[in-house]
Amino acid sequence: MDISQIQPIIGEPVLFLKNEKILVVADLHIGIDSELKNYGISQTDHTQKMIKHFLLICEKQKPKEIILLGDIKHNIPNTSYHERKDVKKFLEQIKNIGSIHIVPGNHDGFIEKLAPSDIKIHSSEGFIIENVGFVHGHRWPSDKIMSCKQIIMAHTHPCILFNDRLNHKTYEACWIKTNFLQKKLKEKYPNSKNPLVLIIPAFNQVCGGISINEDKVIGPLGKILDLQKAEIYLLDGTNIGSNEKFKKNQVKLI
């Protein structure tokens, strides 16, 4: 697979593999609405609007395959009737678009009971298409995944913190592109060739995120990723530069 053809869709937290016509999306967290209601936050029809938006993206891009890179559903360990209904309906809708792959995330307990039988559910350790590995990110990947040329992961809901002179803080979803810290990588995966890593933003805009310039990437891989040299891109394609340089410049601006 030509990894240069793996490109984000501008303005969307969605990845598209042009040559293979594969669309990749992660962290939909269908069912988060009910949790927010418990905190007094009402998101009227948010889930349905999100699903409708995703279907419009599919209509425009016309993928042959769709990879759901974990956390399709939200509530754990219990799943409400409405959440089960929404997840089932969503999966039934998209299976008619093309072949569907699911890499279960930490919120996807019993997802196999909600998915149609003709949807492929992979191991939570991830799976491989040619020389690219796909993982959610909440578990250590297999040795085979770590031998790939590139790894695409999710889980951390990456965003970046902007802080102005008046200490006004805003957060924006972002893409993270980086490699591993060589020494730590070899300790955990001696045969790995230091694959390029691309971290996908959460598709659900209300489920929060972890700011790369303030915190760290969650999940086990975060322990061995080179976050200082990580390149940051906003959804509109803006290249923020390396995390290390951005944090230095941010300090100067405050």
Over residues 21-41, the pLDDT tens digits come to 999 999 999 987 766 666 566
Instruction: State if pTM tops 0.85.
Output: yes
List the structure tokens of 223.
């322990």
User: How confident is the model at residue 83, as a pLDDT?
Assistant: 83
Convert the pLDDT of each residue in 158-180 to its tens digit: 999 988 777 788 889 999 999 99
Q: Please give the residue that has the higher pLDDT: either 69 or 107.
A: 69
Mean pLDDT of all residues belonging to the chain: 89
Which of 33, 83, 67 lies closest to 198 in space, CA to CA?
67
- Give the burial class of 150: count Cβ atoms within 10 A of its Cβ; 0-12 exposed, 13-18 middle, 19 or more buried: middle
What DSSP state is assigned to residue 84?
H
Q: What is the C-alpha to C-alpha distance for residues 47 and 24, in angstroms, rounded to an integer? A: 19
Count of domains for the chain: 1
Q: pLDDT class for 2, splitting at 50, 70, 90?
A: low
Which CATH number characterizes residue 243's domain?
A: 3.60.21
Parallel/antiparallel/unpaired status of strands 231-234 and 239-242: antiparallel
**Cβ pair 125, 106 in contact under 8 A:** no
Task: Give the domain range for residue 118.
Answer: 3-253
Cα 169 to Cα 232: distance, rounded to the nearest angstrom:
18
**Residues near 108 by beta carbon (within 8 Å), at least 6 away in sequence:** 70, 71, 72, 73, 102, 124
| Bridge partners for 42 per DSSP | none
